[in-house]
Amino acid sequence: MQRTTILIPAHDEAGYIDTCLRGLLTQDHRPPVAIIVIANGCRDDTAARARSHGRAFAARGWSLRVEELAEGGKIGALNHGDACAAPGIRIYLDADIVMSPRLLAGLVLALDTAEPRYAGGRLRVAPAENLLSAAYARFWQKLPFVAHGVTGAGLFAVNEAGRARWGAFPQVISDDTFVRLHFSEAERLLVDEPYSWPIAEGFTRLVRVRRRQDQGVAEIALRFPELPPRQGHVRPGRHELLRLAAGDPLGFAAYGAVALAVRAGRNRQDWARGR
């Protein structure tokens, strides 16, 4: 079995890192795992909170390493984490993600092959406090790419042969899209175990994040034109969209309002974390 390393880039994640790491401690996977938290540009106690879990991981034979970088930036954190990691399976995990107990074992099993593979879990949006965000999330989760695909949002994993598909992470908005499109649809494996992913709260933040996502996809198409042809079935067709809208008109209205705002060019301020 390939060695497994979990890389967690974390910028000012004091409110989330404890829950993320506790989620890892609940995993039913027994072989040794290395966890590397890369605290980057933090102005809070993210690093200290992460280190406080070291004894609990050591008790189950896992290692926890916390790296602190003065400069913030997810791409720099990912590249630093890769430089610290041993060869083998690598799981890239956002600090606000909570994995269900059987997901880690499922990812390792799926990736324990000599052939290049990419894997992810079944995304479940965490309960939103804002009613519009809740309606948007309910509809968005039914879209084909989310319901049946391997999104990579907040969590994606590759085996050693898969990681060899690219070198250092480039400075791009959408690191998960960049990695996912290095693999054909047949090479992307969905592990049918959920993980919790937080959605932006409120209309303004939803528009901001959605615009950021669209910019990320457009950037990949411009800089790496060989990658988008591997996208696969992402956007629903007209009949499929109408069927989904009929089943959840309020969710469709929320989703449509955000999409129209993005197209209209509203909310042009720089993107910030939208939770």
Helix H, strand E, coil C: the string for the chain is CCCEEEEEEECCCCCCHHHHHHHHHCCCCCCCEEEEEEEECCCCCHHHHHHCCHHHHHHCCCEEEEEEECCCCHHHHHHHHHHHCCCCEEEEECCCCEECCCHHHHHHHHHCCCCCCEEEEEEEECCCCCHHHHHHHHHHCCCHHHHHCCCCCCEEEECHHHHCCCCCCCCCCCHHHHHHCCCCHHHEEEEEEEEEECCCCCHHHHHHHHHHHHHHHHHHHHHCCCCHHHCCCCCCCHHHHHHHHHHCHHHHHHHHHHHHHHHHCCCCCCCCCCC
Measured distance CA(57)–CA(232) in Å, rounded: 39
Q: Are 2 and 88 in contact (CB under 8 A)?
A: yes
- pLDDT grade, residue 265 (50/70/90)? confident
Give per-residue pLDDT as tens, 37-78.
999 999 999 999 999 999 999 999 999 999 999 999 999 999
pLDDT of residue 168: 98
Give per-residue pLDDT as tens, 205-242.
999 999 999 999 999 999 999 999 998 766 778 888 88
- The model carries a pTM of 0.94
Token pair, residue 202, equals 């409120």
Residue 9 CA, distance from chain mean position: 11
Long-range pairs, 258-262, Cβ under 8 A, ≥24: 258/136, 258/203, 258/206, 258/207, 258/210, 259/210, 261/203, 261/207, 262/207, 262/210, 262/211, 262/214
Query: Regarding predicted confidence, which is higher, 85 or 234?
Result: 85
Give per-residue pLDDT as tens, 126-182.
999 999 999 999 999 999 889 888 999 999 999 999 999 999 999 999 999 999 999
